[in-house]
Structure 1
Amino acid sequence: MKKSNLWSLRLGFSGKQADKIEKLGLKNFLKNSYESKFDKELPAFLNEEPKTLAEQKEFNQSIKIADPETKKSILSKQANCRVEQKKWWIDKMRTSEFPLRESMVCFWHNHFVAISQKVHVNYWIYQYDMILRENAFGNFKELTKQVLKSNAMVKYLDNGDNKKGKINENLSRELLELFTIGIGNYTEDDIKNGAKALAGLNAGDNGAVYGKLEEDNTNKTYFGKTGNWKADDLVDIIFEQKSIPYLITRKILKWFIYDNPPEDLVVHYGDYFRKVDFEIESLLTKIFTEEYKKDTAGIKIKNPLVYILQLADELQIANVDYIMITDFLKQQGMDLYNQKSVKGWDGGNLWLTPQIYLQRNNISNSLCSGMSLTKKTIKPIKEGDMPRSDYEKFEVKIDFNTNGNNKTIIAELTDRLIFQVNDSMQKDMESLLKYDFDPKEEHANFAVIRLFNYITKLPEYQLI
């Protein structure tokens, strides 16, 4: 696999950015990615969703007094809005000229987990999503402060139940265990006193605010410092701790490059992260420019997003069915906005269980045949057993040099799709695209897609 294709997949969701990486060079590509603009206009599907606390209260009351049919209609409309939100995000991932920002939004979304099915308020999820998007390349400390005071996070981690004299430790615990310094670097007293500092922090019209009757204004000792600490103070104190840069650095390395990041690299980049005062852009630039020079292909399993969006782009599917993609992601264990727990998606080997591998092969077979799938047919079933009525036909085609021959076209595809080719694979590919193959012949595209389909089912194709 060419380095530009490898890093297009790592820094985005397909090989579409490979040409830009080659033409601009990695540093300029990154610069353009950091400076890329994004849409801040409220999506239309949220226009009628409740936004203020008063509107939310009125909405909840309408559900309580509604008859069964009306209640079902209201809840169905809210569920449809959540589906539209997923489609909206997938479209951003797929169509962004420089998709690194959306990849980072997805990374932060899986680091600072706030699950929509528990938050319930679609507008709060959107606000939280925009915090991640606006601060994707910003300062980690400032991002942590904003997330901590977002309506989505205080709702998800039950901080509305955290009041003076009746403490709920959920948000305080996850702030330390999962969001910042990790297990083993804090005490239970830090969690208890952190919870007191967060007592009374609950949803407001423009982000979480302290309620005067519920907040705790006593002095608390947090990591050895005593004072009447509040949310921002907790974050400032946490970021003074020696262990602060390593958990997030390890997770960034795992998201982009290594399923099992070497510990020496975690320390190397983590120390640098502290040195640049937790500026995310600086850390990413250092990691990507240093790792780009190494031969690291084939050490990370593609997540389901990269797998499906690469398929769609390689096959040049004009009108991608985003519902099909959301269903596929859910089946693969990567349901957007709905991780199974606050720990997020673990990734790594869990992205390639036998069941997931079969699902991937099934959808590759279908898309390469120009057939979309419904939810039923995405599930793992025997190949050839899928009901024809569940298909929707569309045109597929693939890029290849029509002035080449079978061997040059095989090399062209493998250069952009897989990190290594052995003799057995080469022999199989030459049996699919034979020596007398005519790339200008009427059905040449079909033959090359058949070769592409074979490649997508190789274990090597699952790795980047």
Structure 2
Amino acid sequence: MKKSNLWSLRLGFSGKEADKIEKIGLEKFLKRSYYAKFDKDVPAFLNDDPKTLAEYKESRQRIKDLDPEEKKKIQKKENQTTAELKKWWIAKMQTDEFPLREKMVVFWHNHFVATSQKVKINYWIYQHNMILRENAFGNFRELTRQIVKSNAMVKYLDNVDNKKGKFNENLSRELLELFTIGIGNYTEEDIKNGARALAGLNYGDEGAVYRKNLEDNSNKTYFGKTGNWKADDLVDIIFEQKNIPYLITRKILKWFLYDNPSEELVVYYGDYFRKINFEIAPLLTKIFTEEYAKDTSGNKIKDPLVYISQLINELQLKDYDEAMIVAFLKQQGMDLYNQLNVKGWDGGNSWLTSQVYLQRNTTADLLCNGRSLSKKVQSAMTEENSRPKKEPEKKIVKIDFDSNGNNKTIISELSNRLLFTVNESMQKDMENLLKYDFDPKNPNANYGVVRLFNYITKLPEYQLI
């Protein structure tokens, strides 16, 4: 696979940034990604959502007094808003000039998990998402501080039930186990005293705030330090620990480059991360520029987001509905805002089970044949040999190829763009599809190249980057 195509998939969601990376170089591409502006306006579909604590309490009280049918209507509207929130984010991923920020937002979204299913308040989920976006390339310690004090996180990890004399350890535990330092680097006493420090941290207008009648103001010992610690203090103490950089550098390497990164790389980049005081942008620059110089292709299974985005980009589908992508991701086990648990999506081999692979192949068939992934088609394609009763109107799909070439040059062109390796058997199969007498100037030549592309999407090698 051509290096710029490979890294376009890694630093974005499809191959559309390949020419840009080739033209301006990787370092300029990264710098422009870090400084590219992004929209901070609250989406219109959230206009009616409660945004202050008073509005939230008032809306909950109002719902209590409604009859069951009215409650169902409100629940339906909230579900529709959640669906709009997913489509809004998908649109950002697909249309941003420099999509690396959104790629990082998805990474942080899967690191600091807070699901809409449990949080329920769409505006809080949006706030959580914006914290990740605004701090995507900032400082890891500062990002951790803000997330711990977000309404979404205190709701998701039950810190609203954490009170003086009746402690809930969920947020304290995950802050250590999953968000920062990892298992084996703390004690149960650290978790208990962390919970005491977080007691009373509850919903607020722009973020979580301490309630005086619920907080614990006694001294707590945390990683050997004693004081009346609160949320920010816990984060500062955690970031003084020796092993703090490695959990996150391992996850970054897994997200972008390797399903199984070596411990040597984890420690190497982790030590650098500590040296630069946990600034994310310079860490990413170091990782990407140094790994770019190596031959690292084929070490990571494409996640569903990259898979579907690449299909859409290659087939030049301009008028697709973001809901199509949302439905595909849910089917593949990558439902946005709704991971199965606080650990997030596992990634790696979980993106290529036999069922997931079959769904991918069926999706490629549908899109290559100009059919849309409507909900009816999506549900129908999960049932063996079933088809929707009414065929939707087919769309014209096109693949970029050199119309001045021949069968072998076009096969080489697509292979370089889409595959990291081609063996003799694959080459022979592709030449059987696009025969020696193939005429690229024939008005129907595109159909032959689309068939070739569809064959390539079924290859195990296509699933890798």
TM range (shorter): over 0.9
Q: Which runs of 4+ in 1 moved over 6 A?
A: none
Q: How does 1:44-443 map to 2 (within 5 A)?
A: 44-378=44-378, 381=382, 385-389=386-390, 391-443=392-444
Contact kept in structure 2, 1:161 and 1:168, CA below 8 Å: yes
Percent identity between matched residues is 74
TM-score normalised to structure 1 length = 0.98
Letter in 2 for 1:407: K
Asked whether the equivalents of residues 164 and 200 of structure 2 are also in contact (C-alpha less than 8 Å), the reply is: yes
Task: For residue 376 of structure 1, report the CA deviation from its aligned partner.
Answer: 4.6
CA contact (8 A) 1:398 1:445 kept: yes
Q: How does 1:442-453 map to 2 (within 5 A)?
A: 442-453=443-454
- Equivalence for 2:32: 32
**CA deviation digits over 1:333-368, x for unaligned, max 9?**
000000000000000000000000000000000000
Secondary structure of 1:431's aligned partner: helix
Q: Deviations over 1:221-273 (max 9, x none)?
A: 00000000000000000000000000000000000000001010000000000
**Alpha-carbon distance between aligned partners in 2 of 1:425 and 1:37, rounded to the nearest angstrom:** 43
Cα contact 2:172–2:194 (8 A) shared by 1? yes
Q: How has the CA–CA distance of structure 1 residues 384 and 259 changed in structure 2, closer, same or farther, with 3 Å as cutoff?
A: same
- Alpha-carbon contact 1:250-1:261 (below 8 Å) kept: yes
SS in 1 for 2:277: coil
Cα distance per residue 1:133-157 (max 9 Å; x no partner):
0000000000000000000000100
Amino acid at match of 2:53: L
CA contact (8 A) 2:81 2:122 kept: yes
Q: Secondary structure at the match of 1:460?
A: helix
Partner amino acid, structure 1, of 2:225: K
Deviates more, 1:46-55 or 1:64-73: 64-73
SS of 2:349 mapped into structure 1:
helix
Specify the SS of the correspondent of 1:393.
coil
Any gaps of 5 or more consecutive residues in structure 2? none
Distance 2:135 2:107 in 1: 12
Instruction: Name the SS of the counterpart of 2:294 in structure 1.
Output: coil
Secondary structure at 1:372's aligned position in 2? coil
Alpha-carbon distance in 2 for matches of 1:346, 1:138 = 25
* Cα shift readout 1:294-333 (whole Å, capped 9, x = no counterpart): 1110110000000001101111111112112111101100
- Comparing 332-341 with 394-403, greater Cα deviation is found at 394-403
Cα RMSD (Å): 1.1
Conserved? CA contact 1:238–1:244, under 8 Å: yes
Name the stretch that deviates more: 304-313 or 388-397. Answer: 388-397
Aligned length: 464
**Cα distance in 1 for residues equivalent to 2:30 and 2:185:** 33
Q: What secondary structure does 1:226 align onto? A: strand
Which deviates further from its counterpart, 88-97 or 316-325?
A: 316-325
2:13 and 2:305 in contact (8 A); partners too = yes
Alpha carbons 1:34, 1:137 under 8 Å: kept: yes
Cα-to-partner distance string for 1:272-293 (whole Å, 9 max, x where unaligned): 0000000000110000000001
The 1-side partners of 2:234 and 2:58 are apart by 34
- Conserved? CA contact 1:315–1:397, under 8 Å: yes
Distance in 2, matches of 1:329 and 1:344, equals: 14
Q: Take 2:393 and 2:308, find their aligned partners in 1: how far apart are those partners?
A: 17
Which sits farther off after the overlay, 376-385 or 349-358? 376-385
Note the C-alpha offset of 1:206. 1.1
Q: In 2, Cα distance between the equivalents of 1:2 and 1:285?
A: 20
Asked if the contact 1:374/1:390 (under 8 Å) is kept, the reply is no
The whole-number CA distance in structure 1 between the counterparts of 2:64 and 2:444 is 61
Q: Does structure 1 retain, via aligned residues, the 8 Å contact 2:304–2:332?
A: yes
Q: Write out per-residue CA displacement over residues 193-239 of structure 1, whole angstroms, 9 at most, x where no aligned residue.
A: 00000000011001000001001110000000000000000000000
Code of the residue aligned with 2:107 in structure 1: it is F
Counterpart residue number, 2:6: 6
Report if the CA contact (8 A) 2:93-2:103 is conserved: yes
Q: Supply the distance in 2 between the matched residues of 1:427 and 1:391 (Cα, whole angstroms).
A: 35
Tell whether the 8 Å contact from 2:376 to 2:388 is kept in structure 1 after alignment.
no
Letter in 1 for 2:280: I
Displacement of 1:431 in angstroms is 0.8
Measure the CA separation in 1 of the matches of 2:170 and 2:383. Answer: 44
Query: Residues 121-179 of structure 1: CA distance to partner in whole angstroms, max 9, x if unpaired?
Result: 00000011000000000000000000000000001000000011110000000000000
Asked if the contact 2:139/2:278 (under 8 Å) is kept, the reply is yes
What SS is found at the alignment partner of 2:361? Answer: helix
SS in 2 for 1:23: helix
Q: Which amino acid aligns with 1:418?
A: L
428-437 or 359-368, larger mean C-alpha shift: 428-437
Instruction: Provide the C-alpha distance between the structure 2 equivalents of 1:268 and 1:176, rounded to a whole number of angstroms.
Output: 22
Residue 164 of structure 1 aligns to a residue whose secondary structure is coil
| Structure-1 residue corresponding to 2:457 | 456
Quick one: structure 1 residues 400 and 345, their matched pair in 2 at CA, closer, same or farther if it must change by over 3 Å? same
* TM-superposed deviation, 1:383: 6.7
